[in-house]
Amino acid sequence: MDCEEEFFDAVTEANPRVPGVILVDTSKSNGIGKVGERPPQENGIQKHRTSLPAPMFTRSDFSVWSILKKCIGLELSKITMPIAFNEPLSFLQRITEYMEHVYLLHKASCQQKPLERMQLVAAFAVSAVASQWERTGKPFNPLLGETYELIREDLGFRFISEQVSHHPPVSAFHSEGLKEDFLFHGSIYPKLKFWGKSVEAEPRGTITLELLRHKEAYTWTNPTCCVHNVIIGKLWIEQYGTVEIVNHRTGDKCVLHFKPCGLFGKELHKVEGHIQDKNKKKLFIIYGKWTECLWGIDPVSYESFRKQERRGDHLKKPKPDEDSLKADSDVVDEVPETQETVQVIPGSKLLWRVNTRPPNSAQMYNFTSFTVSLNELETGMEKILAPTDCRLRPDIRGMENGNMDLASQEKERLEEKQREARKERAKEDTEWKTRWFHQGRNPYTGTPDWLYTGGYFERNFSGCPDIY
């Protein structure tokens, strides 16, 4: 049995307890993990829930304009928003959603050729933002010192994150494969700006992936996300910008263009790009939609198909009436019509396809099945988790349970508690000390980064701050 067959036999979401997955003794391990005895399921959960305790709260009775009208062009991290515009997750949990399609990393580690590994790394980078489709709720800002951990034996990884700075807000994360096949880490500084009708989120910060068996490191940054019609009209989301993934060992690079919607919505959700070697020779073409799937094909076949397509495209489609479009856009950003699904070029291979969302997703903040499980807290988990874990935040828990009044009160209490703690540190002239990450430089790019110090899974949580 080869590496790839071994992995796919071992890891399936449908089977929560599968053979072949290393058990990690979380009471002793400081690094990737050692074989040992531990409870049979991650974080004490026997089976993942499929729905939230309460349906999504309606936002129709709230006006965000009274808050945002003074903020046009400004950075929004210091603006307090009504809780009705949140979703019941911390931003640290939102980052964890990068891991939903982690099978791509396990599969990449099994490939012998650098080009095939880069194809799967590119698919993973695109898949990491797929859960944002139709996710118009704002995650809760993490409190300074807040953490989130997730161990998924069925998916073969564990994950730890910490809010390492409040102003500016910086979230650091570190994930590792339970079979010692990868490390995935980074620090994210989400820069939010309001532009009148839309809110733009630029996720600054470097993301690093290390494939340990191949001694390879890849780095990239995520595209910009924009939520339209935050004042009036139907909310809709697009991602745009260029993502460059660099293989620091071979010099290969993958350049992915997340297309902006465009005037008539033709480019909505589209991703196009290529993989090139260190001499800039194109080796592979990638195309698809970040909301659906990603395909790839060799450059010769791609160019041949495009030439045939151009020769056959004689009929121009009539354009919509521009005056009516302009009139509508004065009030709202017109929601583009979803175009036909990705046109697959003959000879292409499928790199990734998005997971189907649960049927009740629209009543659960448009969460994926993976996302629904992130804030799950079963009896006894409090004894395992750090006291700073997001699952223990009373405001998020209140909102998840449908108690909006309690959630709002707790959110105000926690924010005031954080402000008082900051004043106390200023009075005593002491600086905040992070617990699980430290400032340094990315070993591959040389840029400032937050690096995992280690030790979290030894579970010595004495001295953790009281933030809740």
β-partners of residue 287 are: 272, 295
Query: For residues 460 and 32, is the Cβ–Cβ distance under 8 A?
Result: no
What percent of the chain shows pLDDT beyond 90?
A: 60
- Amino acid present at 298: D
Is 53 a member of any domain? no
Please count the structural domains in the chain.
Answer: 1
> How many C-beta atoms lie closer than 10 Å to residue 398's C-beta?
21
Residue 104 has pLDDT above 70, yes or no: yes
Helices (H), 260-343: 299-312, 322-329
Residue 193 has a pLDDT of 78
Instruction: Please state which of the ranges 49-63, 216-230, 253-267 shows the lowest mean pLDDT.
Output: 49-63
Q: Which residues of 321-357 are buried (b: 16+ CB within 10 A; e: fewer)?
A: eeeeeeeeeeebbbbbeeeeebeebeebeebbebeeb
Choice between 66 and 322, residue whose per-residue pLDDT is larger? 66
Residue 33 has pLDDT above 90, yes or no: no
**Cis amide prior to 346 (ω within 30 degrees):** no
Is 383 a member of any domain? no
Residue 146 has a pLDDT of 98
Where does the pLDDT of residue 388 fall: very low under 50, low under 70, confident under 90, or very high at 90 and above?
A: very high
Which tokens in the block code for residue 373? 């499980």
Residue 234 has a pLDDT of 75
Is 189 a member of any domain? yes
Residue 317 has pLDDT above 50, yes or no: no
> Average pLDDT over the chain, rounded to whole?
83
Residue 443 has pLDDT above 90, yes or no: yes
Q: What is the CATH number of the domain that holds 267?
A: 2.40.160.120
Smallest CA-to-CA distance from 449 within 217, 258, 252, 256 is with 217
Burial class of 371 by CB neighbour count within 10 A (0 to 12, 13 to 18, 19+): buried
Choice between 295 and 135, residue whose per-residue pLDDT is larger? 295
Is 34 a member of any domain? no
Summarize the confidence of residues 72-86 as an average pLDDT.
Answer: 65
Smallest CA-to-CA distance from 187 within 370, 415, 452, 372 is with 452
Cα separation, 349 vs 362, in Å, equals 31
E-assigned strand segments in 44-181: 86-90, 138-140, 147-152, 157-165, 170-177
Where does the pLDDT of residue 75 fall: very low under 50, low under 70, confident under 90, or very high at 90 and above?
A: low
Residue corresponding to tokens 């396809």: 353
Residue 18 has a pLDDT of 33
Residue 44 has a pLDDT of 52
Beta strands 86-90; 138-140: pairing state = parallel
Distance of CA 9 to the CA centre of its chain: 26
Instruction: Show the 3-state SS of 373-424.
Output: CCCCCCCCHHHCCCCCEHHHCHHHHHHHCCCHHHHHHHHHHHHHHHHHHHHH
Q: Which residues of 78-115 are buried (b: 16+ CB within 10 A; e: fewer)?
A: eeebbbbebbbbbbbbbbbbbbbbbbbbbbbbbbeebe
What percent of the chain shows pLDDT beyond 70?
A: 78
Range of the domain at 437: 64-311+340-376+429-458
Is 247 a member of any domain? yes
Summarize the confidence of residues 39-59 as an average pLDDT.
Answer: 74
Which residues are CB-contacts of 420 (< 8 A; sequence separation ≥ 6)?
A: none
Residue 333 has a pLDDT of 56
Note the pLDDT tens digit of each residue in 327-355.
444 455 555 555 557 889 999 999 999 99
Note the pLDDT tens digit of each residue in 255-291.
999 998 876 677 788 999 999 999 999 999 999 999 9
Is 406 a member of any domain? no
Query: For residues 84 and 404, is the Cβ–Cβ distance under 8 A?
Result: yes
- Amino acid present at 73: G
Residue 319 has a pLDDT of 45
Cα separation, 315 vs 191, in Å, equals 43
Is 278 a member of any domain? yes
Is 15 a member of any domain? no
Choice between 310 and 195, residue whose per-residue pLDDT is larger? 310
To the nearest 10°, the Cα dihedral for 164, 167, 169, 174? -20
Smallest CA-to-CA distance from 215 within 256, 237, 182 is with 182
Where does the pLDDT of residue 38 fall: very low under 50, low under 70, confident under 90, or very high at 90 and above?
A: very low
